Structure 1
């Protein structure tokens, strides 16, 4: 079993070390919350729920390592990487890929699957944050020479994502739009909390 790398969002002071057993999938599961990431070669499942946020799941099929992030905005307010906070896509993508390299991944072998970016925020019709998040993820990965082999982006659905980093398998469940209100509330709550701190192959639908 390969060693794992615990994702740490230093600005939020939160890591992804705690998990639970999912009897449906017969797998040890780790929840990835907004502003978190994890890279690992362990035989486990990474799980997150997305509204306007985006998760990139990146996998090396030779090294059998992979990882997931969950970011809320493409970049910091000044267009920077967003300090050392994985709530910004520019940092979340960079740190996840670097952690995979530490586990033996090679850039030329990396494959990415991307989900989220739903238009779930009320009143956001012009340049919505979900659309910006999704387009940023695709553009970033292409610029880095990482193949995007599958995506489930945009539309109005919140989503639950299950990713198996050792195999690269990804499952996406589109949740009813009526569940958006609670998800939006949680995303807004998290965004307000962290903003008060200084910034430092195919998808299976089931």
Structure 2
């Protein structure tokens, strides 16, 4: 279970590379990542950002991240309330209706305790499977920990795969915003499944 929590934290941290650089309120985070102030984040700037994140997470300075260290690093994303994006009442109601329909297996307009337990188990199984796959993809040598090299390589590669739309080797603030929006839209689509 600790490994699962750790994978969640790592996933949030990796995804946070896009969120971090996208920034809110005038792009302060983007500006911090853009150390040469040229209006774009280069691979070397992204690597420096990722290396700093790794160092912050590596509490015992061992050069590797354990599931415990990853778990302690998890947290809320900036620009979100209680870890979730602000959504309209209309969107929230639509999500609740869809969630209710998924849980109401016999479509009788009521959710029994068995239906609730079944839905919770299905959700937990899906999450556990995704987390295990993500961890395995990051733990390149399969030793049960994520080294600085594994972490920074995955972070930078993921960031550039998602955000460097023109494959220039640099990520502009516009590309970062577009990648951030695409991630939000994908999460929103996942919630409706």
Compute the TM-score of the two structures, normalised by the length of structure 1.
0.24
Compute the TM-score of the two structures, normalised by the length of structure 2.
0.25
Give 1 or 2: higher strand fraction.
Answer: 1
Greater relative CO, 1 or 2 (CA 8 Å, sep 6+): 2
Give 1 or 2: higher helix fraction.
Answer: 2
